[in-house]
Structure 1
Amino acid sequence: MFSTTKKSGKIDPEQRELIENAQRRIRQKKRLTTHFVAFLAGSILFIVLNLVLKFGENFRPFKTDWFVWAILLWFFFFLIHAINVLLVNKLMGKDWEEKQLNRLVKIQQEKIEKLQQQVEREHPLPNKNEPTRKIEPKDDNSTKF
């Protein structure tokens, strides 16, 4: 009934990152579903307003009822949202970000190594075997009183 070993409630950082990523994806998909339901309800409302309640029946851009244009515009925004959630985030998700980060860090490290080599060539450190020269200040008349 009681265990003698205590289970740690701590989650390792890698597992925490996986959980946070999964939660983020769930929120994205939940927002997309909410957007779809709002789109359907709004489309029905536009149709009812125009055809049943005769709201704006005289407004017909390009000889088409206004609700058709409103629904098409809203569908376009919904489609962009869906593509972003289902395709772009899948293709350019956490793995893609990590690869890009690693690539950019590698480029920066290479630049730092090149600069370090250039500094070492132009300003080499003295050997331990060679005596160091003490640099004496120049005899300048301005320091004499």
Structure 2
Amino acid sequence: MAPSSTKKPSIDPEQKQLIENAQHRIKQKKNLSRHFVFFLAGSILFILLNLVLGFGKDFRLFDVDWFVWAIVLWLFILLIHTINVLLMSKFMDKDWENKQLELLVAKQKERIAELQARVDKEYPLPHFKTNNPHDINKDDDLDSIKPYNQ
């Protein structure tokens, strides 16, 4: 018999990220395989349409049948898809994205610090005569406190 309180195994965030990345890569490769199968079937269909059924037999670009141009164009698109899945995804994976995110956040923080320093320099806060910051109450009228430089 199973105990009444079954404890579900928890997956740590790093393990979950690895699983999600693997699922994404599998989906990419699966879509690439589908694209390749559709390319083969489409190419055969184009050839059959032109040579067997005579569809577009009179249409030729630069003395080459139309279906050759269609297949070459589709092959080019398939090649781009293949490069994207097999090469670019390896170089620009989650680690690369995280590094880029860290770099951009660091640049933004640096820029914010520069702007804050510039604001502090150009518009300094007035110094008050009191040495103890606890002497100023929230209820006090700040207009009645005279700045130090007056």
Tell me which interval the TM-score lies in, with the shorter structure as reference length.
0.7 to 0.9
Report the CA distance between 1:115 and its aligned residue: 3.7
**CA–CA distance in structure 2, aligned partners of residues 30 and 63 of structure 1:** 37
* Pairing 1:1-145 to 2, within 5 Å after superposition: 8-120=8-120, 122-123=124-125, 129-130=131-132, 135-136=143-144
Structure 2 spans left out of the alignment, 5+ residues:
146-150
CA displacement, residues 51-82 of structure 1 (integer Å, 9 cap, x when unaligned): 11222111111111111011001101111111
Over 3 Å counting, the alpha-carbon distance change for 1:134 and 1:50 in structure 2 is: closer
**CA–CA distance in structure 1, aligned partners of residues 36 and 51 of structure 2:** 22
RMSD: 2.9
TM-score by length of 1: 0.77
- SS of the residue aligned with 2:110? helix
The farther-off stretch of 49-58 and 109-118 is: 109-118
**CA–CA distance in structure 2, aligned partners of residues 66 and 23 of structure 1:** 39
Q: In structure 1, give the amino acid aligned to 2:114.
A: K
**CA–CA distance in structure 2, aligned partners of residues 64 and 53 of structure 1:** 17
**CA–CA distance in structure 2, aligned partners of residues 34 and 28 of structure 1:** 10
Structure 1 spans left out of the alignment, 5+ residues:
138-145
Q: In structure 2, give the amino acid aligned to 1:53.
A: L
Equivalent pairs counted in the alignment come to 135
